[in-house]
Amino acid sequence: MIVAILFAHVAGCLALEGEPRELRLLGMLPMTGTAWPGGSACLVPVQMALADVNAYPNLLHGYNLTYEYIDTMVC
């Protein structure tokens, strides 16, 4: 994730003015299943971090950081 943020920071310096472009992160979380119910607990800090990063428009100038996850459905 840190690499993605650093890359986005460098790319953000080159972004065109106007609407912010979406910079999407993808994660794999076990949201369903019975083996480990920790996926929903992991999602909350990720969402908090995204809100913090997006709160400072100069951090990723020209970009809006988003997050999507794939449910790994741990049995």
Per-residue pLDDT of the chain (75 residues; tens, 9 = 90+): 555 555 555 555 555 568 889 999 999 988 888 888 788 888 999 999 999 999 998 899 999 999 999 998 887
Domain ranges of the chain: 2-71
C-alpha to C-alpha distance for 25 and 38, rounded to whole angstroms: 19
pLDDT of residue 70: 92
* pTM: predicted TM-score of the whole model, two decimal places: 0.66
Contact at 8 Å (CB) between 29 and 71? yes
